[in-house]
Amino acid sequence: MRNYFTAFQMTQSMFCSLPFPCRDWDEKCRLYMMIFLPAIGLEIGALWVFLDWILKICNIPKMLCAILLCAWPYLATGFMHLDGFMDVTDAVCSWRDLEKRRQILKDSHVGSFAVVWSIFLILAGFAAFASVKEGTNSWCLLLVPVLSRCCSALAVMNLKTMSTSQYANTNNYPKWHNVFLIFLIIACTGFGFICFGKYGCALLAVLAGYGIALKKSYDSLQGMNGDISGFCICISELCAAIVFACI
C-alpha cells in the first residue's frame, strides 16, 4: 500500500502542475504510476467544469471563456502534453527515415511543423469552445481527461516502448491494472451517456481521437514514449471539444 501511495505522489508531481505537498520519489514505484493517471484526469476535469461554472456565474464574455477553457488542460499539466505534441508533429511530419524521425523526436529545438500544428491545435480548441451553444451541459468535461489518461496508461503499459523512453526499463505491470483501466473506460463512457445524454458522444470522441492519433504516431515512430502519450492526449481532448461544441 505504501508503494501505491508513493506512486500516486510521483504521478501527481510529474503529470500535474497543481500544488501538492508530498513529493516522494522511489524508482521501484514507477510500475504503479500508470494506474493513477485517471485520478489526475479527474482532478483536471473537475476543475475544468468548475472553471466553466465560475465563468458563467461571473458573466464573462464568451470569447474570454473560450480561451480560458481551451487553455485549462495545458495549464493544469504545465504544458507537458503540448510539448509532446510538438515533438511528435515535428518528427512525424518530417517524412524522414525512422532513425532520423526518432532523432527529431528527442531534439530540444522547435521545428516549423511543431509551430504550425500547435497554432492549429489551439485555434481549433478555441473555436470549439467559442461555438458551444447556450445551455450546453458541460459536465461531460469532467470525464474527458479521465478517459484520455486511461487510454494513455493502457498504451504505455502494453505497447513496445522506445529505448530512449523513461518507461523503457519498466515492465511487468500488475495485470489487474489493465483490467481496472478497461473497466474504467467502459464505466465512464456508460455513465456519460446515462447522466449526460447526447453529450456522452464527446467521450466517444476521446476514444476515437486517441486511437487514431496513437496509430499514426506509433506506426510512424515504431515505439511508444511519453511524447506520443502527450500527442494523443492533446488530439483526443480536441476531438472531445469539437464534438461537444457540435452537439
What average pLDDT score do residues 197-205 get? 95
Is 181 contained in some domain? yes
Residue 185 is predicted with a pLDDT of: 98
Residue 124 is predicted with a pLDDT of: 98
Is 133 contained in some domain? yes
Cα separation of 166 and 174, whole Å?
18
What average pLDDT score do residues 73-102 get? 95
This prediction has a pTM of 0.95
pLDDT at 82 over 80: yes
How many structural domains comprise the chain?
A: 1
Residue at grid coordinates 504505455: 156
Residue 247 is predicted with a pLDDT of: 85
Is 193 contained in some domain? yes
Is 17 contained in some domain? no
Q: Is-contact 229 152, C-beta < 8 A?
A: yes
112-165 residue pLDDT tens: 999 999 999 999 999 999 999 888 889 999 999 999 999 999 999 999 998 877
Residue type for 213, please? A
What average pLDDT score do residues 72-92 get? 96
Residue 131 is predicted with a pLDDT of: 96
Which residues form the domain of 79?
34-160+174-246
Closest CA to 32 of 61, 4, 69: 4
Confidence of residue 200 (pLDDT cuts 50, 70, 90): very high
DSSP state of 13: H
Give Cα separations from 7 to 3, 53, 106 (angstroms).
6, 32, 26
Residue 198 is predicted with a pLDDT of: 93
Give me the DSSP letters along 178-226.
HHHHHHHHHHHHHHHHHHHGGGGHHHHHHHHHHHHHHHHHHHHHTSB-H
Cα separation of 86 and 46, whole Å?
26
Is 9 contained in some domain? no
* Average pLDDT of the chain, as a whole number: 93
pLDDT at 89 over 90: yes
Is 18 contained in some domain? no
What average pLDDT score do residues 12-36 get? 86
Residue 25 is predicted with a pLDDT of: 80
Is 166 contained in some domain? no
171-192 residue pLDDT tens: 788 899 999 999 999 999 999 9
User: For the purposes of burial, counting CB atoms within 10 Å of the CB of 217, is it exposed (0-12), middle (13-18) or buried (19 or more)?
Assistant: buried
Confidence of residue 243 (pLDDT cuts 50, 70, 90): very high
52-77 residue pLDDT tens: 999 999 999 999 999 999 999 999 99
Give me the DSSP letters along 56-84.
HHTT--HHHHHHHHHHHHHHHTTTHHHHH
Is 25 contained in some domain? no
